[in-house]
Amino acid sequence: MSPTWAGLGQVGLLLLALAVVYKPLGDYLARVFTSEKDLRVERVVYRIGRVDPRSQQHWKTYVSGVIGFSFVSVVLLYLLQRLQGILPWNFGRTVDPGVAFNTAISFVTNTNWQSYVPESTMGHFVQMAGLTVQNFVSAAVGLAVAIALVRGFTRSNTDRLGNFWVDLVRGSIRVLLPLSFLFALVLVGLGAVQSLHSGFDVTNLDGSTSHVPIAPAASQEAIKELGTNGGGIFNANSAHPFENPNPWSNLVEIFLLLVIPVALTRTFGVLVGNRKQGYVLLSVMGVLWAGMLTVVWWAESHPNGPVSVLAGGTMEGKETRFGIPGSTLFATSTTGTSTGAVNSMHDSLTGLGGGGTILHMMFSELSPGGVGTGLYSILVMAIIAMFLAGLMVGRTPEYLGKKLGKREVTCAAIAILAMPTVLLLGTGITLMFDANLSYLNNPGAHGFSEILYAYTSASNNNGSAFAGITVTSDWYQSSLGVCMAIGRFVPIIAVLCLANSLARQNKVPETAGTLPTTGPLFAVMLGGTVLLVAALTFVPALALGPIAEALA
C-alpha cells in the first residue's frame, strides 16, 4: 500500500471513530451540565469549598470565579516548581524563577508552552501534582465558559449564567477524569511508558554509558491530548516513542485531540433545541480542518527543494514510524485545536506547510478548537457573521432568537481582536531589538516565521513551536507569558459579558425576514467570515515569513 493510501486510511478511521462517538458523547455532555443531581464525590468537594451547587451566578461573579481560580492556580503552580527540591521524586532537579513563571502561566491558560527540557527539569511529583492537575482544570475552565455562553442563548430575561464552581467540578469529574483514565490504559496497552522510576542506564556501542529517563507518561499523555493541553513529559513530546510508540497510538492521540471539541457541537445543538445548529458549526469546522490538512499534506509531499524532490517528500524532522501522512494529520489537528502537542518538528516543515500550521492557529483555533474554547470562538464568529449579514440587508441582526445590538457586537469584537493584538504587537516589538534576534537559529524569512509562530502559539494558547528559536531569555519568558494570559482571559471576559447580554433578552420569534442559520448559506457566511478576518489581519505578516520562504 502506498503512503498516500495508508494516510487516507488513517483519515478515514479517524473520521469514523469521531462519527461513532459524536452523538453519545455530545448528548452525555449536555446531560452533565443540565442535570439537577450531584454525585457523592461532588458533594464532598462542594462542602469543602463551601459552594452551594443550586446557586446561580451573575456574569461578573462567574468571571471572578474564573479569574480568581486561575490566579491562585498560577501562584500555587509557581510555588510548587520553586519548592521542587524538597518534594518527593525530584531527582535533584530545580526550576529557575523565569521558567517557573512562564510554565505556571502556560499550564493554567491551557497553553502548555514549554521553554525547558521536561525530563531534566521537572520531577515526577511536580509533573503529576502540578502540571497534570492543571491539564484537567484548565480544560474544565474552557468547557465551563463555553457552556455559560450557550446558556446565554437558551435563557431569557435573566442575569444568571449558572455556577462556575459546579461547571468546573462536573467538567473535571464527569468528563475529563473518566475518559483520561480509560485512554491512559489504552496507551499503556499500546506501549506507552507509565513508571515512577527516574530511568535506567544503557551501554552504547562504543562502551560509553547513557541515561534513558522514564516517567508516568501514559497518564499525562491521555489528559494532555484529551484536554487539548499539549505539554509533553519528554522534550520530544508525542514524537517520543515512550509517549507515542506506534501508528495506532498516534491515531488514538489524534482522536483524543478532536473528540471533545467535535462532540461539543452536538451538545450545543441539543441545548439550544435544534441539532441542525450544531451540524452547521461542525461542517464549518470540518471544512476548515480538511482544507488545512490538504495544504500541509500537499506541501510536505511536494516540496520545492532538490533533495526533497529526489526523496519524494520531506522527511526531515519526522518520525519514520508515522511518515508524512501521520505527521501532517497530527500537525493539522494540533494547530486546529489549542493543544500544541507535536509528533514531528514543525520547524522542519516546508515554507507552505509551516505557514499552513501558523494560519490554522490564526483562525482563532476553532477548527475544531480546544475544549470549550473552540465552541465559544466559533459562536463569536457566528455573531460577527450575522452582524455583517444584517448590515448588508439593512435590518437588525439576530442569532438563535437573540438580537445582536451594540453591546453584543462589541463583546464579540473584543473577543476576536484580543488575540491578533498581542500576537502582532509581541512579534513586532521582539523584532525591534537585535538582542532578541540573536536567539534565532535561522536567518531571513524562516527566522521571522520562528518568531511569528512563537507569538501565534502563545496568543492562541496553543503551545507548539518552531523550535529553532531559543526562548529562555527574560524577554521571551515574560512577553510570551503576557501573551498567553491576555490571549486566554480577555476573550473569556468578553464571552461571559456577551452571554449575560444574550441571557437578559427575551427571544424574538422567527419571521419571513429572519436569516436561516441551519443551511449551507449560513455555513458559507460563517466560514467566509473566519477566512476574511484571518486574511485581513495576518496576510502581511505571513507574507514576510512563510509565504516568502515558500516562494524562495
pLDDT digits (tens, 9 = 90+) for 400-421: 999 999 999 999 999 999 999 9
pLDDT at 226: 97
Residue 5: strand, helix, or coil = helix
pLDDT at 203 over 60: yes
Run of H or E including 201: strand 199-203
- Burial of residue 548 (number of CB atoms within 10 Å: 0-12, 13-18, 19+): middle
* Dihedral, CA of residue 32, residue 34, residue 40 and residue 46, to nearest 10: 110
pLDDT at 292 over 80: yes
| Type of residue found at 95 | V
Phi, psi of 491 (to 5 degrees): -60, -35
pLDDT at 169 over 90: yes
pLDDT at 305: 63
pLDDT digits (tens, 9 = 90+) for 318-355: 998 999 999 999 999 999 998 989 999 999 999 999 99
| Angstrom distance (rounded) from CA 286 to CA 71 | 34
Radius of gyration (Cα) for the chain, nearest Å?
23
Are residues 416 and 408 in contact, defined by beta-carbon separation less than 8 angstroms? no
Name the β-bridge partners of 210.
202
Listed in sequence order, the DSSP H helices in 126-246 are: 133-154, 164-170, 177-189, 217-226
pLDDT digits (tens, 9 = 90+) for 444-498: 899 999 999 999 999 999 999 998 888 888 899 999 999 999 999 999 999 999 9
Are residues 489 and 245 in contact, defined by beta-carbon separation less than 8 angstroms? no
In angstroms, what CA-CA distances link 289 with 199, 541, 547?
A: 39, 22, 20
- Burial of residue 202 (number of CB atoms within 10 Å: 0-12, 13-18, 19+): exposed
* Dihedral, CA of residue 110, residue 115, residue 121 and residue 126, to nearest 10: -10
* Arithmetic mean of pLDDT, 74-79: 97
- Burial of residue 241 (number of CB atoms within 10 Å: 0-12, 13-18, 19+): middle
pLDDT at 510: 81
* Arithmetic mean of pLDDT, 278-283: 97
pLDDT digits (tens, 9 = 90+) for 258-272: 999 999 999 999 999
Residues near 435 by beta carbon (within 8 Å), at least 6 away in sequence: 473, 475
| Type of residue found at 537 | T
pLDDT at 312 over 60: no
Please name which of 334, 370, 338, 371 lies closest in space to residue 140, comparing C-alpha atoms. 371
| Type of residue found at 525 | M
How many DSSP H helices and E strands does the chain contain?
22, 4
pLDDT at 193: 94
pLDDT digits (tens, 9 = 90+) for 207-238: 888 888 899 999 999 999 999 999 889 999 99
Residue 112: strand, helix, or coil = coil
DSSP letters, 409-474, are HHHHHHHHHHHHHHHHHHHHHHHT-HHHHTTBSS-HHHHHHHHHHHHHHHHTT-----TTB---SH
| Angstrom distance (rounded) from CA 209 to CA 45 | 49
- Model confidence at 513, pLDDT cuts 50, 70, 90, reads confident
Whole-number percent of the chain with pLDDT over 70: 98
- Burial of residue 76 (number of CB atoms within 10 Å: 0-12, 13-18, 19+): middle
Report whether the peptide linkage leading into residue 368 is cis, meaning its omega lies within 30 degrees of zero: yes
pLDDT at 396: 79
Phi, psi of 469 (to 5 degrees): -100, 135
Are residues 99 and 116 in contact, defined by beta-carbon separation less than 8 angstroms? yes
* Arithmetic mean of pLDDT, 247-266: 97
* Dihedral, CA of residue 423, residue 426, residue 429 and residue 433, to nearest 10: -120
Are residues 357 and 454 in contact, defined by beta-carbon separation less than 8 angstroms? no
* Arithmetic mean of pLDDT, 369-391: 95
Are residues 356 and 538 in contact, defined by beta-carbon separation less than 8 angstroms? no
* Arithmetic mean of pLDDT, 279-301: 96
Please name which of 229, 258, 245 lies closest in space to residue 14, comparing C-alpha atoms. 258
pLDDT at 394 over 80: no
Is the overall model pTM greater than 0.75, yes or no?
yes
| Angstrom distance (rounded) from CA 270 to CA 470 | 46
| Type of residue found at 112 | N
Per the prediction, the chain carries an average pLDDT of 93
pLDDT at 347: 92
| Angstrom distance (rounded) from CA 306 to CA 366 | 36
DSSP state, residue 132:
I
| Angstrom distance (rounded) from CA 469 to CA 129 | 29
pLDDT at 281 over 70: yes
| Angstrom distance (rounded) from CA 444 to CA 467 | 16
Higher pLDDT, 208 or 276: 276
